[in-house]
C-alpha cells in the first residue's frame, strides 16, 4: 500500500512515523521540514518562531523520551509582563499583580473568580458568542481594556474582535492551572530541531510542492497513491477544498523578527506590548542560558492577515519599523548584532464564532484524510502537542480503514 503525506510539519512527520511499518510512505514538503517548528541555524540552531512546551503536553514529552532526549528537556518558571505607556510591569507573582496600577482591586478579584470558574464552564456552549462583547457584559469595560484586549491583540492582532467566547474560556481554563510563582514552561535545550531530526529517520521526504488530483485514483504530482493524508493549512487544498465540502476557515499570518542584541531588554521572558508594530517581545535568553548562544536572542512577534500590507512589506521595511519601536525599550541601532524576519502565511486558524462546528474530521473522503491545525486536538490552541496527537489519531483511523493492524 502507498500513502502520500502532504506536509513535513509535526503532524505529517508523526503520521508518517506511525504508518511507516505498515505501508510505503512518501512525505511531500514544499518549504522547510518541521514547518512552523523549523529552525534557523547560525553556529547554533534556534526556531524561526518562538516555541516552548507545557507540562500538560504529554504526547510531546513522551516522544522526547522515546528518542532519548529527556535529559535535554528543561523546565523553568519564567517572568511575564506587560509594557504600557512606556513602562514595563512584571506580572509574574500575585504581589506584582496586586501592585499593577492599571487594574482596580475589585477587577483583580473579579478576574481571579472568573479564572477559577472558567475551569468548570462548558465552553462549547459559547461558540456563537463574541469574546469581547461577552467579557464586557460579564466583567465590565475596564477589565476588558486593561487585561483581555492586550492578550487578544497579542494573539490575534487585527482579528481580536472576531474571536469566540468559547475560545477565550477554554484558553483561560487551560492556561490558569499554574503555581503561585507562575507557570513552568519547557524547552529542548539547544533546540527542537533535535526532535525533528529523530522524527525524520527512515522517512522518505520529497522536497516538492504537492499537487493533488483525483483521477479515478488519488495522485500527487502525477503519481498514484492508495491514500493521502493532508497536513498542510487548508487554503493549500485550492479547488479541492470546495469539492471535498470543507467549510471556510480563516487563518492569520505570523511575522517574527529574531534579533541578536548586545544587551538584554529586561529580565522578562514574555512581555505583551501595547502600541507597537509587534504584540510581544519574547526574550529567549531569559529562558535558556545566554552561554548556549553567546548573544541575547529576542523575538518580536506579531500576527496579521495574509493579504495585509504589513504581511507584504519587505524585510527592510519591517526591520526599520521594528527597530524604531524597539527604541521605546531603550534599544539603539548600535545594540543590534543582526535581525532576521520570518513569516508564516497560514500560521493559525482564527478561532472565531462558530469555529467548533468547523473542526475538520480526519476522514473527509474515501482515501483522503486531513489532520493538523484545524483538527480537534489543536483546540483551543494549536500546539506542538496538538499536532502530534492529530498525526497519531489520523494514522490510527487510516490503519483501521485499510486493515493495517
Binding flag, residue 379, ligand FAD (CB under 6 A): no
**Contact residues for 272 (Cβ-Cβ < 8 A; gap 6+):** 80, 81, 82, 83, 150, 151, 154, 279, 280
Question: What is residue 73's three-state secondary structure?
Answer: strand
Q: Report 184-203 residues binding ligand FAD (CB under 6 A).
A: none
In contact, 30 and 216? CB cutoff 8 Å: no
CB of 117 to ligand FAD, least distance (A): 26
Q: Which stretch binds ligand FAD (CB under 6 A): 33-41, 77-85, 92-100, 333-341?
A: 33-41
In contact, 163 and 131? CB cutoff 8 Å: yes
CB of 127 to ligand FAD, least distance (A): 21
Q: Tell me the per-residue interface mask from 335 to 354 with ligand FAD, x by CB under 6 A, - otherwise.
A: ---------x--x-------
Of the two residues 242 and 327, which places its CB atom closer to ligand FAD in the complex? Answer: 242
Cα–Cα dist 124/390, whole Å: 20
Binding flag, residue 274, ligand FAD (CB under 6 A): no
Cα–Cα dist 152/158, whole Å: 9
Instruction: Output the CA angle 249-252-256, nearest 5 degrees.
Output: 155
Q: Which stretch binds ligand FAD (CB under 6 A): 26-34, 61-69, 86-94, 175-183?
A: 26-34
Q: Tell me the per-residue interface mask from 51 to 70 with ligand FAD, x by CB under 6 A, - otherwise.
A: xx------------------
Burial (CB count <10 Å: 0-12, 13-18, 19+), residue 240: middle
- Give residue 251's Cα distance to chain centre: 12
Burial 252-267, CB ≥16 within 10 A → b, else e: bbbbbbbbbbeeebbe
Binding flag, residue 37, ligand FAD (CB under 6 A): yes
Binding flag, residue 360, ligand FAD (CB under 6 A): no
Binding flag, residue 35, ligand FAD (CB under 6 A): yes
Q: Tell me the per-residue interface mask from 201 to 220 with ligand FAD, x by CB under 6 A, - otherwise.
A: --------xx----------
Of the two residues 61 and 404, which places its CB atom closer to ligand FAD in the complex? Answer: 61
Cα–Cα dist 152/97, whole Å: 19
Binding flag, residue 383, ligand FAD (CB under 6 A): yes
Which region, left, alpha or beta, applies to residue 182 given φ > 0 means left and ψ of -120 to 50 means alpha?
left
Q: Which stretch binds ligand FAD (CB under 6 A): 3-11, 98-106, 162-170, 259-267?
A: 3-11
Q: Tell me the per-residue interface mask from 168 to 187 with ligand FAD, x by CB under 6 A, - otherwise.
A: --------------------
CB of 88 to ligand FAD, least distance (A): 21
Cα–Cα dist 307/252, whole Å: 9
Binding flag, residue 382, ligand FAD (CB under 6 A): yes
**Closest residue by Cα to residue 329 from 258, 275, 287:** 275
Q: Tell me the per-residue interface mask from 119 to 158 with ligand FAD, x by CB under 6 A, - otherwise.
A: ----------------------------------------
Binding flag, residue 50, ligand FAD (CB under 6 A): yes
Q: How many CB atoms lie within 10 A of CB 351?
A: 28
Binding flag, residue 7, ligand FAD (CB under 6 A): yes
Binding flag, residue 368, ligand FAD (CB under 6 A): no
In contact, 205 and 8? CB cutoff 8 Å: yes
Q: Report 228-257 residues binding ligand FAD (CB under 6 A).
A: 231-232, 236, 254, 256
In contact, 39 and 45? CB cutoff 8 Å: yes
Binding flag, residue 258, ligand FAD (CB under 6 A): no
Contacts with ligand FAD, residue ranges (CB under 6 A): 6-12, 28-31, 35-37, 49-52, 209-210, 231-232, 236, 254, 256, 301, 344, 347, 372-373, 382-385, 387
Amino acid at each position: 500500500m502507498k500513502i502520500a503525506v502532504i506536509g513535513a510539519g509535526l503532524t505529517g512527520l508523526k503520521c508518517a512515523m506511525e504508518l511507516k511499518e505498515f505501508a510505503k510512505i512518501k512525505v511531500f514538503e514544499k518549504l522547510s521540514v518541521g514547518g512552523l517548528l523549523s529552525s534557523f541555524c547560525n553556529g547554533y540552531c534556534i526556531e524561526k518562531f518562538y516555541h516552548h512546551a507545557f507540562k500538560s503536553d504529554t504526547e510531546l514529552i513522551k516522544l522526547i523520551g522515546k528518542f532519548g532526549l529527556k535529559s535535554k528537556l528543561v523546565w523553568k518558571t519564567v517572568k511575564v509582563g506587560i509594557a504600557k505607556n512606556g513602562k514595563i510591569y512584571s506580572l509574574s507573582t500575585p504581589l506584582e499583580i496586586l501592585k499593577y496600577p492599571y487594574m482596580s482591586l475589585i477587577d483583580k478579584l473579579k478576574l481571579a473568580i472568573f479564572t477559577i470558574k472558567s475551569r468548570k464552564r462548558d465552553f462549547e456552549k459559547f461558540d456563537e458568542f463574541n469574546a469581547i462583547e461577552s467579557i464586557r457584559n460579564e466583567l465590565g469595560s475596564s477589565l476588558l481594556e486593561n487585561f483581555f484586549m492586550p492578550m487578544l491583540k497579542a494573539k490575534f492582532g487585527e482579528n481580536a474582535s472576531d474571536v469566540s467566547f468559547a475560545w477565550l474560556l477554554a484558553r483561560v481554563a487551560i492556561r490558569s492551572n499554574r503555581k503561585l510563582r507562575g507557570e513552568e514552561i519547557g524547552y529542548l535545550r539547544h533546540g527542537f530541531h533535535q526532535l525533528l531530526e529523530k522524527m525524520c529517520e527512515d522517512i522518505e521526504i520529497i522536497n516538492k510542492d504537492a499537487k493533488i488530483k483525483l483521477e479515478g485514483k488519488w495522485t500527487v504530482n502525477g503519481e498514484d497513491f492508495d491514500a493521502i493524508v493532508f497536513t498542510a493549512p487548508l487554503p493549500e487544498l485550492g479547488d479541492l477544498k470546495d469539492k471535498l465540502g470543507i467549510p471556510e476557515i480563516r487563518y492569520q499570518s505570523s511575522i517574527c523578527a529574531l534579533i541578536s542584541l548586545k544587551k538584554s531588554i529586561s529580565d522578562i521572558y514574555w512581555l505583551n506590548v501595547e502600541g507597537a508594530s509587534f504584540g510581544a517581545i519574547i526574550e529567549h535568553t531569559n529562558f535558556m542560558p545566554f552561554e548556549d548562544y553567546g548573544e541575547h536572542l529576542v523575538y518580536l512577534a506579531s500576527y496579521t492577515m495574509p493579504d495585509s500590507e504589513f504581511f507584504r512589506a519587505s524585510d527592510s521595511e519591517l526591520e526599520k519599523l521594528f527597530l524604531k519601536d524597539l527604541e521605546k525599550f531603550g534599544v539603539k541601532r548600535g545594540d543590534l548584532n543582526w535581525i532576521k524576519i520570518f513569516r508564516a502565511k497560514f500560521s493559525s486558524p482564527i478561532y472565531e464564532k462558530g469555529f467548533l462546528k468547523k473542526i475538520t474530521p480526519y476522514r473527509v473522503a474515501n482515501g483522503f484524510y486531513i489532520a493538523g491545525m484545524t483538527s480537534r486536538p489543536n483546540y483551543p490552541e494549536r500546539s506542538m502537542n496538538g499536532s502530534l496527537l492529530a498525526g497519531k489519531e489520523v494514522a490510527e483511523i487510516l490503519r483501521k480503514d485499510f486493515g493495517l493492524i
